[in-house]
Amino acid sequence: MGGDGGGGVVGFVGLDLFSFELASSLLRSGFKVQAFEISTETVEKFTELGGCRCDSPADVGKGAAAVVVLLSHPDQIQDVIFGDEGVMKGLQKGAVLLLSSTISPLHLQKLEKQLAEGKEQIFVVDAYVLKGMSELLDGKLMIIASGRSDSITRAQPYLTAMCQKLYTFEGEIGAGSKVKMVNELLEGIHLVAAVEAISLGSQAGVHPWILYDIVSNAAGNSWIYKNHIPLLLKSDIDGRFLDVLSQNLGVVEDKAKSLPFPVPLLAVARQQLILGISQIHGDDTSTSLAKIWEKVFGVGILEAASKELYKPEDLAKEITGQAKPVKRIGFIGLGAMGFGMAAHLLKSNFSVRGYDVYKPTLVRFESVGGLAANSPADVTKDVDVLVIMVTNEVQAEDVLYGHLGAVEAIPSGTTVVLASTVSPAFVSQLERRLENEGKDLKLVDAPVSGGVKRAAMGELTMMASGTEEALKSAGLVLSALSEKLYVIRGGCGAGSGVKMVNQLLAGVHIASAAEAMAFGARLGLNTRKLFNVISNCGGTSWMFENRVPHMLDNDYTPYSALDIFVKDLGIVTRDGSSRKVPLHISTVAHQLFLAGSAAGWGRIDDAGVVKVYETLGRVKVEGRLPVLKKQDVLKSLPSEWPFDPTDDIHRLNMGKSKTLVVLDDDPTGTQTVHDVEVLTEWSVESISEQFRKKPACFFILTNSRSLSSEKASALIQDICSNICAGSKEAGNADYTVVLRGDSTLRGHFPQATDAAVSILGEMDAWIICPFFLQGGRYTIDDVHYVADSDRLVPAGETEFAKDASFGYKSSNLREWVEEKTAGTIPANSVESISIQLLRTGGPDAVCEFLCSLKKGSACIVNAASDRDMAVFAAGMIQAEQKGKSFLCRTAASFVSARIGIIPKDLVLPKDFASDKESSGALIVVGSYVPKTTKQVEELQLQHKQKLRSIEISVEKVALKSSEVRAAEINRAVEMADAFLRSGRETLIMSSRELITGKTSSESLDINSKVSSALVEVVSQITTRPRYILAKGGITSSDTATKALKARRALVIGQALAGVPVWKLGPESRHPGVPYIVFPGNVGSSTALAEVVKSWSVVAGRSTKELLLNADNGGYAIGAFNVYNLEGIEAVVEAAEEENSPAILQVHPGAFKHGGIPLVSCCISAAEQAKVPISVHFDHGTTKHELLEALELGFDSVMVDGSHLSFTENVSYTKSITDLARSKNMMVEAELGRLSGTEDGLTVEDYEAKLTNVHQAQEFMETGIDALAVCIGNVHGKYPESGPNLKLDLLKELHSLSSKKGVVLVLHGASGLPEKLIKECIENGVRKFNVNTEVRKAYMDALTSGKKTDLVDLMSATKAAMKAVIADKIRLFGSAGKA
């Protein structure tokens, strides 16, 4: 709408700090802005920017399309809006009123109702303005707008131009105030929790600044913690802050009471604030906040903060640098985390003996190279270090001191590493007990965090404490298990103290997120939008951003069980009690988790604590992403970047740009490119050859989606190794690797990406970009959508997300990354390039953003158009030329944008020599997505005459014996060969009932067997098809590489948007045969049928189309009367041999004898012909005949009313034409009357009439498509003197008909000399009726007496007719025009 801004006027009533920025943004976007403001200084600044000053609110409204009104108090409404000088006095009908306010929603709703009752049609929108707090939107303006749908739509252009981020809530106005309450609830709880955490840590002897540094980079972080704790520790904030916050929380608490809705965390947080305020004496508000909290908690925070600082990471480096060698490790506790840790130690070349109470785990541990022990005592044999990774203190006590405990058998001098989360007090007590054993046993307190996957990769965060000797003894083990290792001073228990503080915050933040989201749901807010807003506000936290998506998806798969926080917060509250630190917030949070556990939710994900609120408040937090109207969404986006970057991309690619090497997990990735080579094998020689050609891009078909995760990873590693080697052989060619994957998010992610990185090395960023316009895949506001007609469906709600092998739940790509990486890459750490950045900043902004990313980041790309994709590609190339490296996981659109592909026309059979082939086409379908099934059904419906289907039983080829499988394959091969030889389009498909395994690997195995069966069928077919179409990614890959033995191919272009066509290489079984790769998830339900139709030998049977082509080409088409099978075959064979269109013509006399079988033979022959043939009903002289003909499948009819008066002829012709139009049939009619005899119908010379030009003009108004003219032509034989055609009359008629779009037809072409035929064609005749000469040839052959056998006689008569027909075809000029 920015482009419309030049003519739009926006007014402002009041210019505070925020609204001044809003007005400035509008001015920069080209809008005219006028404002009323009493501050002279502000007005001067405003006018300097180009704004216009107004003298009153009424003046602001004059001529304005939208007015922004600042309201800070309800009392302002009457004066500012409705007063004598109020806005309404000047506001025009249909204007937008934007209320920038924080007053109660009730007052805003009352105002909206008051305006609705007036005569003026005013669109009211509540616009709450705030500054973003996240890294992405730090300091940038955000607007939360709410109102009716039509009001939001009307206000959208102005709102978008005013801010960097817009959130809209359709429905009642007042959403901004409600979101503000939710945010303040979180900020208040987080503040008190942060102070509790710092107080408890300080009392436990951990330096506050060290606590801050560690926790602010861990799961316990929040915006409040990150930004307020430094101010607290520096005494840079005074007590007045508490009073304001307490008042705000009081408003929220009152609102919760009025609903009613329980907010226990908010209530206790507010009480703590009130307690803090009570420590301020009189009017002395200058007391530092730190001093106030010291009084409340009884902890010397500032004294602790003033102690000498150190760097835990540096201590860790010192310890590991002086670490003692370790030969043998004992490991107790092989649960999810423990098994990964122990397995990684094995990979790090340690000898590890493990023990777990669950015996199958021991068997699994042995399978990866570990030694299994029978008891904790047995595990300690000859160990240097014993690692304990059990659930809680009780289990730790049992494995050490219980029956067959480790301590009784442990060797002297052993170091025990306790990695479990336990209380600092337990650790201190355990250290003393171990010392008392008299074995010189040492203890390292080393709690861990990071999750199961990071445990297996040796990338945990560890907080270790203990004596220097103990730490050095275990240093190599700690280093092997961790990515971040912190050594905490203060002796054993200090590490657990840090972990305890982190868990305090993490637990409170999960519980507060639950309280906030449930409260938001009770307020009637869209919870998913609420989450998006809060994630950019001061109420956010690491846990809020990580756990709320679980609540929104109602998915409580336990990444971390609720009962863990029952334990961990129990440790916190117990330790707080022992240290005399009051932990009100932590205690209430603990009670909430206890309530959840007591309700039976202990083993679900810890985000399940929200169920406590849902149950008590009778609300649902779940917020499924809505299905959106595509056009509405696309219209709401900012205007595209105005400059096409394609030329810049070409210029950059010609410079230092890298070659794009696309590893395609199935062949459908070529669906947006042309003139690009595809390798189906990846030898170093082949890759090196490609690099030497210096292409912008080449593809390597991996087909990895059909493999297991392990095999796919190994394959990617193998290919990447060969790419590296091929690059070196080609002179160190520079390249970027793209892992082209499915646009509906299926495939091996992140396994394939991890595999590539393991060979290519760490990249600056992973780029994730599934946008694919041709397939209707859009990424907007980080959510990936699949277009379904005019709707945008979140990808996680589609059938693709239910894929048996690659299913997923998240539509938000940030959350999808977290889901697919099992939490290793949290959603809140995934970077995002927004559509707004692409469309307002262009390639330079993209380059700057990419260059600013932290190394190893994952970055998603939003896009809603090919221009967006091109802008991103140009920016990425710029970043690469500045030295950045990227690994891309994208759909097909990125590839074409990155190499600057310019689209070309769709590929058709005429682009290949295959359009001369006589065999049928081979269509192979293996895809099971519902879209494919619908497409196959439509194909069979539309092409039932010529299509032959062969269904291969999935059960027989995948689940039965090898004999049954072989018999099923042989059956399919025999049928396919027969159908193809007869010229039939042959469909081979797996049975449509989807059969899946019990696991994803079993499903993949079934898919593999089905695919291999299809491969065997295709490889055994001996007939060369006219073209091959493979439907589905895995199917198309296996068909090309295994069945057809193709090692390389050239992408020619697309048969349909998103459907690539390959030309197979010379080494393949069918060199040069067009190979159409049809993705399983592309196109409408009719798309497959459309491609098969456009690739048919004959594009259709339309008589009108044949004649229009003839008119454009300046030739004529022969319409040959037929009476029997021999005549039909003679016409078709002659036309095919001459590569000419032709018309099979049935006269009423022939129909009288041949009937429906004759017509059926004509239609069948036309459908199977290799050239365009249509079927025409000639000389329908009665309505009865023509009505019957209209129902029999003719392509066109001739209405012969020549025996009627002109008026009757017009009426008769028009009535039939109207009926034929409804059936899309061409109509020919006759004006004038021919003499002569045809099929027993005789017109005497005296009855003959020439066509009247003046009557012809009126006659053509009947809607006919073709006019049979009478210019001296006759049916049957011409007199001995020869024909006498009135060519001047023909010329006049042609001049008239060409203006009307009507083609001319000449009956009685038999016997016309070549010169006359040519002159007729020059004067517009496009159809010649031929009968007499063909009949004569038939009769002559029949009566010659040379053939006596019936079969020989049939052959002779056909040959005789065929010769005459071929001569006529050449004479008419249609030869070679098919």
Closest to 529 (Cα-Cα) out of 629, 626, 620: 626
Angle, helices 562-578/494-522, rounded to nearest 10 degrees: 120
Closest to 443 (Cα-Cα) out of 480, 463, 479, 468: 468
Element (H, E) at 1164: helix 1148-1168
- Residue listed under structure tokens 């009627």: 1204
Half-sphere exposure for 508 (CA within 13 Å, toward CB): 37
Closest to 899 (Cα-Cα) out of 1045, 694, 592: 694
Q: What DSSP assignment string belongs to 201-256?
A: HHHTT--HHHHHHHHTTSTT-BHHHHHHHHHHHTT-SBTHHHHHHHHHHHHHHHHH
Distance CA 376, CA 330 (A): 9
951: which DSSP letter?
Answer: E
Distance CA 526, CA 585 (A): 27
Q: Edge-to-edge strands of the sheet including 460-464? A: 448-449, 460-464, 482-487
Distance CA 773, CA 1046 (A): 29
Angle, helices 494-522/264-278, rounded to nearest 10 degrees: 110
1065: which DSSP letter?
Answer: -
Closest to 909 (Cα-Cα) out of 917, 901, 919, 900: 917
Quote the tokens at residue 359. 């015996």
Distance CA 201, CA 677 (A): 62
Distance CA 1043, CA 973 (A): 13
Buried b (16+ CB within 10 A) or exposed e, 1289-1308: bbebbbebbeeeebbbbbbb
Distance CA 978, CA 1339 (A): 36
CB of 2 within 8 A of CB of 29?
yes
Quote the tokens at residue 26. 């509008």
Residues known to be catalytic: 499
Quote the tokens at residue 708. 């297991």
Distance CA 1135, CA 1118 (A): 10
Quote the tokens at residue 894. 């990125």
Look at the alpha carbons of 216, 219, 223, 229 in this order and tell me if their dihedral is positive or negative. Answer: negative
In sequence order, which residues have a C-beta less than 8 Å from that of residue 908 and are 6 or more positions away? 1055, 1094, 1095
Please give the backbone phi and psi of residue 746, each rounded to the nearest 5 degrees, phi first.
-90, 150
Angle, helices 527-534/175-203, rounded to nearest 10 degrees: 50
Closest to 187 (Cα-Cα) out of 212, 157, 214, 223: 223
Distance CA 562, CA 550 (A): 13
CB of 1317 within 8 A of CB of 1298?
no
Q: Given the DSSP bridges, would you call strands 1048-1056 and 676-679 parallel, antiparallel or unpaired?
A: antiparallel
